[in-house]
Amino acid sequence: MNKIFLSPPHMSGKEQKYIDEVFKSNYIAPTGEFVTKFEDSIKEYSGVKYSLALSSATAGLHLALRVLGVGEGDIVLTSSFTFIGSVNCILYQGATPIFIDSDSSWNLSPKLLKKAIKELPQKPKVLIVTHLYGQLAKIEEIASICKENNIYLIEDSAESLGATYKNRQSGSFGDLGVYSFNGNKILTTSGGGMLISNNREWIEKAKFLSTQAKEPFLHYEHKEYGYNYRLSNVLASIGVAQMEVLNLRVTQKRDIFNFYKKELSDISEILFMPEIENSRGNRWLTTLLFHKTNPIKVIEALEKESIESRPLWKPMHIQPLFKGSKSFVDGTSEDMFNRGICLPSPTASQDELYRVVEVIKQICH
């Protein structure tokens, strides 16, 4: 049997053509027309004024904190139910992460966010909110809370490119936002990310820092330290081709979710990740919870049939790295971690998806 992967890359067909153009131009380093084209396509798609193509979304989050002046002694609030890349950037800056649990949306709880702001002895400087598995958090309410309390808002939209709330793109609500183009994302350049904002100064500063903070002299002059964080022209050319089919990919991912939901509808113990009202997720991965069945048994059964699946993210507040860290939790994300699974969501044939469904039915019944 062919291996069914969790979320393999899917090419548009134009990637090789654009890569060939890059090699003909000999601009393969982190400069060239395709970097500009990729940045422009993200700006146009997201409706945000400025963008910066980077080596990863983690680099984008790091630069976002840096341009906002986050440093040692500062508090950064963040979603607990997320990938560690959302949190490592806080450690890079010597700041203190404080974790906020999820609510029934699976994303950050506005109620617990308010509680944290009220009870912490020190005012938080920034909130990093993750839009989990391509589904938007209650971003309008969260943005309002941040504005009322003068807290910068960074959207970790690494998983949610193409998702919308009230027809507005994920990543465009905060002071800054990031997208990921890792190999398993809905749009991939093999590795890469994008930082976006409506603040020109922040993006210009981030660009300066992402290219080793070189001062504008003929020789190499440095007044502060920077990073090697820019995306290459080669990878940007892949991104340009991928952007041309992004809306199709969102439709395909949503079709996969709808297929799973329909085919597993007779199993009453299964609960799929919801969409909040007025939102349209990209359904990057189809994720669900079991009421009775142990998800590890399902993962192991799928693996025997050469089908890749995974547990949900282990919440940050119970990771060994953050033992003793302050958190505002009520057990929601821990419960979901213990009961949840990510199903393979490739743009595959229905025959392959039926293979997944049959294994789940056998286990649950």
Expressed in angstroms, the distance from the first to the final Cα of the chain is: 24
Given the DSSP bridges, would you call strands 126-130 and 75-79 parallel, antiparallel or unpaired? parallel
Angle between helices 350-364 and 246-263 (to 10 degrees): 30
Distances in whole angstroms, Cα of residue 313 to Cα of each of 120, 136, 137, 228, 248: 26, 16, 16, 29, 27
Please report which confidence band the pLDDT of residue 350 belongs to, taking 50, 70 and 90 as the band edges.
Answer: confident
Residue-level pLDDT at 232: 97
The phi and psi torsions of 117 (rounded to 5 degrees) equal: -60, -40
Residue-level pLDDT at 348: 65
Fold of 15-243: Aspartate Aminotransferase; domain 2 (3.40.640)
The fraction of the chain above a pLDDT of 70, given in percent, is 100
Please report which confidence band the pLDDT of residue 26 belongs to, taking 50, 70 and 90 as the band edges.
Answer: very high
DSSP state of 30: S
Residue-level pLDDT at 364: 95
Average of per-residue pLDDT values in the chain: 97
Radius of gyration (C-alpha) of the chain in whole angstroms: 21
pLDDT digits (tens, 9 = 90+) for 97-118: 999 999 999 999 999 999 999 9
The CATH 3.40.640.10 domain(s) of the chain lie at 15-243
Helix boundaries (H) for the chain: 15-25, 33-46, 57-67, 85-92, 110-119, 139-148, 200-210, 233-243, 246-263, 295-304, 332-339, 350-364
CB 130 within 8 A of CB 108: yes
Q: CB neighbours (10 Å) of residue 265?
A: 10
CATH architecture, domain 246-364: Alpha-Beta Complex (3.90)
The CATH 3.90.1150.10 domain(s) of the chain lie at 246-364
Mean pLDDT of 293-306: 98
**pTM across the whole model:** 0.97
pLDDT digits (tens, 9 = 90+) for 239-259: 999 999 999 999 999 999 999
Quote the longest CA-to-CA distance of the chain: 71
Distances in whole angstroms, Cα of residue 244 to Cα of each of 18, 152, 239: 12, 32, 9
Residue 184 has pLDDT above 80, yes or no: yes
The phi and psi torsions of 194 (rounded to 5 degrees) equal: -145, 130
